[in-house]
Amino acid sequence: MRMTTSYPFLTMRLWELHKFPAILDEYLRLLKRRRGACDEVWFASEYGFPPLSMHRECAAQIAAAAEKARASGFVASLQISNTLGHGSSLQYLDFSGIDWQRMTGPDGTVSPYNNCPRDPEFLGYLAETTSAYAAWKPASVWMDDDLRMHNHAPVRNACFCPRCLDAFSAACGKTWLRKRLVKAINADNDLATRRAWLAFTRQSLVGVARVVAQAVRDVAPKARLGLQHSDPCCGGYNGPDFEPVFRELARISGQPVGSRPGGGTYIDHTPRWIIDKAVCTGLQNSRLPACVADSRAEVENLPGAVTGKSARGTVLESTLALAYGCTGLTFTPLMFLHEETAWHERVLAEIAAWRPFWLRYLAVNRNTRPAGLEIAFSRRNAERLLKRGEPDFAWARDQAWGDIPQMTTVGLPLCWGAENAVGVLLHPFACEAFSGKELRTLLRRGVITDGATVNRLQERGLGHLLPVSVQPASDQDRLERFTDDTLNGSFAGGPPQLGSLAKYALVGRAEGVRCLSRYERIDGTAGAMAVVAAETAGGGRLVVFGNGFWDPVVTTARRAQILAASDWVSRGRLPVRVETAGPVMVIPRADRQGRLHSLMLLNCCLDRSPVLKLRLRRPAGDRFSWLRPGRHTPMVVKPVAASRSETQLDIPPLDAWGIGVLFAE
């Protein structure tokens, strides 16, 4: 992915504002007052699928509104609100324009609200509407995230209509009926057919994108094209990425294209959801092809109410998205006309106030990427075998990484891909998709995993690849005591830890297995090994936590053990270690040589943090500065101690949900 900063930085997405000239004028005046909060506006085509006459009327209104936006100094762009359709959540809209083949699910359900991606009448309708909307020559045209093959309620996975089945049969040289195809790609575990089906449906998306791109090219040849997408689209029914669609957009437009990753977190009543979204946004960014030159995060405040997402929550979510690879931001508060203007101004004022902080951060990190432990996630995740009793399409589940994103709050730096990774986190869900050959490659590196993962690998007949095996622990083995192993540091032999209920006893299968923790009964007698560290046959390092691992609610001792284990498997190359205990998220960014340029810290709780004691590895320079949002001048930070291998620093306390960035220059 080749990123550039030549595109608008902050975008406000609009919905029906073009239909209300007086409110449009009011909002444009508001945006001019808070100019730092907005560089571009996206006008939206009509949601739903009404008759063509309604689209033409709407397009004329948008053209007039776009002229006003441009006259006010804003870049004016366009969002194509529907391609395949969003589903039953918008069933109150007008769908009377659909008189072609509708989307069909694997059980024969036909959606009243969604389109077969291969129906020529639908594609003709889409071409006509796109041409009408793009006639005013927007700066860019973005397709909304309904260009996907799953999640079109009431159809979960698509499209199994007669037209698609006939086309797939022709491509395969074999006749496929719906029920037989569903059985083949599910219960029969016919992976060759499943791969062929997923490739076929991906090409269905390419066909839709081609129609939109060509329609734009014909009337607005200079317009840049972009795709909106969300994290559940990565790795499941849609395949590992949207590369075929992006490449088609770039081919037809003749220029780099844009990406808008996102998905969920519409309110901030559960604040840590922004962490899940940020890490998953990082996955989407890590799988963008080189033809994508701009990635602007989706920051959605739905339903745009004062009691939903706060102004503070909006900018925190935005900041984490930039840390995980986005180069711009899109916002939705002005999509909805039911809230008071004073509330919109409050949100815009907060965004404008954070803008200098964001631009400084992006400038320092222009040639960097997130660093730390790689979240293992196979590009063939959708090819895992279904187990007996699993429902159809369980292989297409949205996520295969469980609660891993929340592990950042114990101080674990996480990233996607091996480029800047110093080790690997292997989740039991994710391990299902890796082949024996891929697992051997992983085990040449440093890996942290849990007993459930080892158990699943044993069930697959791959347990021989590991220096440790597992068996169910006794019901009495819930307490856990750290051994005197040096990795436990000052917590060796300390008070017993209370473990989880889902646990495994570990058994060494090779020489040199180190026991970091043992189970302990209530009467004080020792049980089986609970945490072990071992060298692997391929020259890597492995730590297995038998007594739970993916829960970020841990004691000071367990947190220290997790960080020490992570540092051990990475051979002392963990980019940062926060020595101060507490729920502090870390996002280091390093260049291709592994040199640390910045470290973002987020205090993920309602307490003010203590002074944060850091140990940095391979900083890019020996001059350090600490910058908080709203501050114009960074604070110089002098090292407490420094050696060839690391630098120790103290960072001032962070307020509740406070955030800041340490720069090494």
Residues 6+ apart with CB under 8 A from 409: 272, 275, 552, 583, 584, 585, 604
Neighbours of 593 (CB within 10 A): 8
Task: Kindly report which listed range (4-18, 186-200, 356-370, 396-410) carries the lowest average pLDDT score.
Answer: 396-410
What is the distance between the alpha carbons of residues 377 and 399, in angstroms, rounded to a whole number?
Answer: 9
Has residue 5 got a pLDDT over 70? no
Has residue 233 got a pLDDT over 80? no
In contact, 2 and 287? CB cutoff 8 Å? no
Confidence band for 513, pLDDT divided at 50, 70 and 90: very high
Residues 6+ apart with CB under 8 A from 161: 101, 102, 103, 104, 110, 116
Looking at the chain, how many residues does it have? 665
- pLDDT at res. 501: 66
- Tell me the pLDDT of the chain averaged across its residues: 95
DSSP 8-class letter at 619:
B
- pLDDT at res. 474: 86
Q: Which residue has the higher pLDDT, 302 or 219?
A: 219
Confidence band for 79, pLDDT divided at 50, 70 and 90: very high
- pLDDT tens digit sequence for 112-139: 999 999 999 999 999 999 999 999 999 9
DSSP run (H or E) holding 85: none
In contact, 11 and 329? CB cutoff 8 Å? yes
Alpha helices in 89-156, H assignment, sequence order = 120-134
What is the distance between the alpha carbons of residues 490 and 567, in angstroms, rounded to a whole number?
Answer: 16
DSSP 377-424: --TTGGGPPPPTTPPTTGGG-S-SSTTGGGGGGGT--EESSSTTEEEE
What is the distance between the alpha carbons of residues 174 and 192, in angstroms, rounded to a whole number?
Answer: 13
Has residue 400 got a pLDDT over 80? no
- pLDDT tens digit sequence for 103-112: 999 999 999 9
At 474 the three-state DSSP class reads coil
What is the distance between the alpha carbons of residues 44 and 334, in angstroms, rounded to a whole number?
Answer: 12
CA-only gyration radius of the chain, Å: 26
Compute the average pLDDT of residues 461-468: 95
Has residue 403 got a pLDDT over 90? no
Burial of 388 (0-12, 13-18, 19+ CB in 10 A): exposed
DSSP run (H or E) holding 604: none
Confidence band for 548, pLDDT divided at 50, 70 and 90: confident
Confidence band for 398, pLDDT divided at 50, 70 and 90: low
pLDDT > 90: percent of the chain: 89
pLDDT > 70: percent of the chain: 99
Confidence band for 525, pLDDT divided at 50, 70 and 90: confident
What is the distance between the alpha carbons of residues 174 and 177, in angstroms, rounded to a whole number?
Answer: 10
- pLDDT tens digit sequence for 257-305: 999 999 889 999 999 999 999 999 999 999 999 999 999 999 999 999 9
- Residue showing tokens 């891909």: 417
User: 375 pairs with which residues across the strands?
Assistant: 425
Say whether the peptide bond before residue 159 is cis (omega within 30 degrees of 0). yes
Question: Alpha-carbon torsion 308, 314, 317, 322, what sign?
Answer: positive
With CA atoms as reference, report the closest residue to 439 among 522, 356, 536, 508: 536
With CA atoms as reference, report the closest residue to 85 among 33, 40, 48: 48
- pLDDT at res. 401: 80
Has residue 499 got a pLDDT over 90? no
Compute the average pLDDT of residues 321-340: 96
CA dihedral 405, 281, 304, 51 (to 10 degrees): -140
- pLDDT at res. 632: 83
Confidence band for 646, pLDDT divided at 50, 70 and 90: very high
Task: Kindly report which listed range (284-293, 468-477, 587-596) carries the lowest average pLDDT score.
Answer: 468-477
In contact, 503 and 546? CB cutoff 8 Å? yes
What are the angstrom distances between the C-alpha of 649 and each of 228, 623, 657? 40, 11, 21
- pLDDT at res. 200: 98
Compute the average pLDDT of residues 641-645: 88
In contact, 403 and 550? CB cutoff 8 Å? yes
Has residue 516 got a pLDDT over 70? yes
Q: 10-156+202-364 maps to which CATH number?
A: 3.20.20.70
Q: What are phi and psi of 358, to 5 degrees?
A: -65, -45
Neighbours of 463 (CB within 10 A): 16
Task: Kindly report which listed range (67-76, 104-113, 140-149, 385-394) carries the lowest average pLDDT score.
Answer: 385-394
User: 369 pairs with which residues across the strands?
Assistant: 590
Confidence band for 476, pLDDT divided at 50, 70 and 90: confident
Confidence band for 397, pLDDT divided at 50, 70 and 90: confident
Q: Which amino acid is at 479?
A: L
